[in-house]
Amino acid sequence: MSLDRSDVEKIAHLARLQLDDADIPEYAQHLSNILALVDQMQAADTSALEPMANPHDASQRLRADAVTEQNQREALQANAPATENGLFLVPKVIE
Amino acid sequence: MQWETVIGLEIHCQLATESKIFSGASTAFGAEPNTQACAVDLALPGTLPVFNEKALEMAVKFGLAIDAEIGKKSVFDRKNYFYPDLPKGYQTSQLAHPIVGPGHVDIQLDDGTTKRIGVTRAHLEEDAGKSLHEDFHGMSGIDLNRAGTPLIEIVSEPDIRSAKEAVAYAKKIHAIVTALGISDGDMSQGSFRCDVNVSIRPKGQDEFGTRTETKNLNSFKFMEDAIKLEVERQIDVLEDGGTIVQETRLYNGDTKVARSMRSKEEANDYRYFPCPDLLPVMIDDDYIDAIRATLPELPDARLARFKEQYGLSDYDAGILAAYGSMASYFETAVDACGDAKLAANWLLGEVSKYLNTAGIEIDASPVSAEALGGLLVRIKDNTISGNIAKKVFDAMWNGEGSADEVIEAKGLKQVTDSGAIEAIVDQVIAGATPQVEQYKAAEPDKRGKMLGFFMGQVMKASGGKANPGQVNQILKKKLDALCD
């Protein structure tokens, strides 16, 4: 399977990446190569195998339902570019 | 053309854990912004999620309550999208291996029949934060207290055929999660949010029409209104020769208007993949059986028991058994007075009226179930009439004490002394000559109806305290004696 310009533009949009127009053919080629590798792997017969959700043969550890975190808002907001009344401020999301 | 409505529901139900699904931050509602958002919730680099055992237990409880297959191996996936109230850039959810597989609930329809609605799945996921779009100098404000709050998303089959059925289904799910104690179900605080998928098709057609999704309906009334509105809109569009666009719509309950929010992104745009930070969650039969043993009586079982044990009608049992708080109030009152029918009538009548007027739920009633039982006992032993009991109840509601205290303080004890009643009857008959003449002139079979006037006068003269049965008997005897 090979990707064309519009596929790359769509993937870049979903990942919120800004690409140089001139670079798009190269990305298309690289991504197509990866897909070719995937195609090659898919040719292997895995019908008798369970899909692997995780490489470790282990199950998820659970924690007790207890509040262990205290309010650290001041420290956690120290790096934020903009805050007000305890809120993080971000570029306006809706018009 | 005859159209058929097809509805499926997605219900996001907040689980009543103390801490978040993957962090130890508190889930309490109403805290100052970002005071309950820790490094994990903020997706700071180097943090890792650890799954909350209570969230797992609650989801399994729900699955058992709807007779569903429980996922012995469930897997968390990443659902990728960008929005500032989702700091990780993905929501941790479950796609291919949810904790709860196919199940079902039964809803009661208006005609008394039962309809089974399939539940496709219910999966665990984390809630996002909250965006505030008021003016912050042209910016949006983000509060991440809610980020990471555990949810189960309950997805129904498209088995629902009307707005009424949709509400009955949502109410049933609501009754189940509150009976299980796995959610407070508070719709105004967003603990129970419903999205409805609506499509229409010509009656008799097998294929579904194009559906729209109306999001975040935070009351059952809004849900019913929004579905009716959307069905009308789709019929108008199709009958005018148009086509339905698959889209997400927002309903405003205050203005009763819905608008298109955005075209629904293709599902694969979320690029789900298994979350590498979380291992598969494995549970065994022992675990499931241990949880099964803790299940409380569920609404359907309670409904059947109320009809059987107390002889209640479908309608009465439907209301009294639907919610645990109402059901236990009812049963406590019945224990106190020994008369289920009387307790049911009072709960559905006077008590409900006062609750509605005050806008409160039964568990906030100023008259406790024991206190109501105390009042009903006094009706049963003829200390007071049903009418006087309403006055006593009003006083009890206003905090004037127990039934016995109010009856004593206001001197409301029913007069059952025949001599005293006869004296009042004589007085009324003496003062109502024209009516007595009419009574005497009337055909004997018409006289029964004319008794009402005299009854009213005697009850009034006694301040409502005369025993109505005795008054009726004495009046009839004395008036008929005049006729001979």
* Shared-domain flag, residues B278 and B239: yes
Q: Cα separation of B107 and B94, whole Å? A: 27
Contact state of B42 with A92 under an 8 Å Cβ cutoff: no
* Shared-domain flag, residues B361 and B453: no
Q: Average pLDDT, stretch B454-461?
A: 87
* Shared-domain flag, residues B304 and B213: no
B127 - beta bridge partners? none
* Shared-domain flag, residues B376 and B427: no
Asked whether residue B105 carries a pLDDT value surpassing 80, the answer given is yes
Confidence of residue B71 (pLDDT cuts 50, 70, 90): very high
* Shared-domain flag, residues B399 and B425: no
Specify whether the CB–CB gap between B204 and B235 falls below 8 A. no
B121 - beta bridge partners? B155
* Shared-domain flag, residues B260 and B321: no
Q: Closest-CA residue in chain B for A66?
A: B19
Contact state of A67 with B26 under an 8 Å Cβ cutoff: yes
Task: Please give the pLDDT value at position B427.
Answer: 87
Which of B357, B380, B410 represents a domain boundary (last residue)?
A: B410
In percent, how much of chain B has pLDDT > 90?
67
Q: Average pLDDT, stretch B45-62?
A: 97
Who wins on pLDDT, B373 or A93? Answer: B373
Give the residue carrying structure tokens 């009334």. B221
**How many separate domains does chain B show?**
3
Q: Average pLDDT, stretch B365-383?
A: 92
Task: Please give the pLDDT value at position B267.
Answer: 47
Confidence of residue A14 (pLDDT cuts 50, 70, 90): confident
Q: Distance (Å) from the C-alpha of residue A19 to the closest C-alpha of chain B? A: 18
Contact state of A93 with B32 under an 8 Å Cβ cutoff: no
Which of B388, B410, B432 represents a domain boundary (last residue)?
A: B410
Tens of pLDDT, residues B347-369: 999 999 999 999 888 989 999 99
Asked whether residue B120 carries a pLDDT value surpassing 70, the answer given is yes
> How far, rounded to the nearest angstrom, does the alpha carbon of residue B258 sit from its chain's CA centroid?
25
Asked whether residue A53 carries a pLDDT value surpassing 70, the answer given is no
Q: Cα separation of A41 and A21, whole Å? A: 31
Q: Which domain holds residue B29?
A: 3-290
Q: Which two tokens stand for residue A11?
A: 């993937």
Specify whether the CB–CB gap between B466 and B415 falls below 8 A. yes
B274 - beta bridge partners? B77
Asked whether residue B263 carries a pLDDT value surpassing 80, the answer given is no
Q: Average pLDDT, stretch B401-422?
A: 85
User: Which residue, among A65, A68, A90, would best test binding to B if mutated, counting the most B CBs under 10 Å from its CB?
Assistant: A65
Residues 6+ apart with CB under 8 A from B136: A84, A87, A89
Find the CATH number of the domain harbouring B447: 1.10.10.410
* Shared-domain flag, residues B44 and B163: yes
**Beta strand pairing call for B273-274 and B77-80:** antiparallel
Which stretches of chain A are DSSP H helices? 5-14, 24-42, 73-76
Specify whether the CB–CB gap between B468 and B458 falls below 8 A. no
Residues of B in contact with A54 (CB under 8 A): 274, 276, 279-280
* Shared-domain flag, residues B88 and B227: yes
* Shared-domain flag, residues B378 and B479: no
Who wins on pLDDT, B268 or B433? Answer: B433
Tens of pLDDT, residues B310-321: 999 888 998 899
Question: To the nearest whole number, what is the mean pLDDT of chain B?
Answer: 91
Contact state of A69 with B83 under an 8 Å Cβ cutoff: no
Give the residue carrying structure tokens 């996936």. B77
* Shared-domain flag, residues B373 and B423: no
Which of B410, B432, B467 represents a domain boundary (last residue)?
A: B410
* Shared-domain flag, residues B114 and B263: yes
* Shared-domain flag, residues B255 and B348: no
Q: Average pLDDT, stretch B118-136?
A: 93
Q: Closest-CA residue in chain A for B274?
A: A53
Contact state of B33 with A87 under an 8 Å Cβ cutoff: yes
Q: Which two tokens stand for residue B286?
A: 């022992």
Lowest pLDDT segment from B33-47, B226-240, B310-324, B368-382:
B310-324
Residue B18: strand, helix, or coil:
coil
Q: Torsion angle, CA of B93/B99/B102/B105, rounded to 10 degrees?
A: -100
Task: Please give the pLDDT value at position B262.
Answer: 66
Q: Average pLDDT, stretch B438-456?
A: 83
Q: Shortest CB distance from A87 goes to which of B53, B132, B271?
A: B132
Residue B330: strand, helix, or coil:
helix
Task: Please give the pLDDT value at position B457.
Answer: 87
